[in-house]
Amino acid sequence: MKKSTFPTPQDAEAAFYEALETADLEAMMEVWAEDEEIVCVHPGGPRLAGFEQVRASWAQILGSGQRLKVHISNQVVLSGMMLAIHSVHENILIQGESRARAPVAATNVYLRTGKGWRMILHHGSPAPAGAREPAESPKILH
């Protein structure tokens, strides 16, 4: 049973990236809906469906021992009463490496449940070369 309540999709997203940076599997899975319909695609990886497949993939990633620092940029948010879609660039720096890797273009989808907002989809793909943070502020569409 989920312990955390995320009152907004932004709260769920902040918890997702915090769990990624702290390599906390339990915190990561708190963000996800407990549903067999959830989907996760890591950059260059296969489509994973269902809670157990998603959990196993995050266990492997977070258990690798690499510490990540993630800076989100190029954010576009589309939100409604029950569903929110966040399109972002994940700028990832691995501790111990001197240069940042190419950004990851990620789509995060959140569903409003009886216990707050939960992630139902995370899809990451390598961003095109030259994809960098723009000067303007994030776009929020309702």
CA-to-CA dists, residue 94 to 44, 87, 107, 140, angstroms:
18, 22, 21, 29
Q: pTM of the prediction?
A: 0.87
Rg (C-alpha) for the chain, rounded Å, is 15
Nearest to 107 by CA among 93, 127, 92, 121: 121
In a domain, 116, yes or no: no
Quick check: is 92 in a domain?
yes
Q: 64 lies in a domain?
A: yes
Cβ distance 79 to 10 under 8 Å? no
88 inside domain: yes
3-state secondary structure of 42: coil
Q: How confident is the model at residue 135 (pLDDT cuts 50, 70, 90)?
A: very low
Asked if residues 119 and 33 have their Cβ atoms less than 8 Å apart, the reply is yes
Rounded CA separation 134/93 (Å): 19
pLDDT digits (tens, 9 = 90+) for 30-44: 999 998 999 999 999
127 part of a folded domain: no
Provide the domain limits for residue 43: 1-104
Domain CATH code at residue 34: 3.10.450.50
Residue 112 has pLDDT above 80, yes or no: yes
84-94, pLDDT tens digit by residue? 999 999 999 98
Q: How many domains does the chain have?
A: 1
Mean pLDDT of the chain: 90
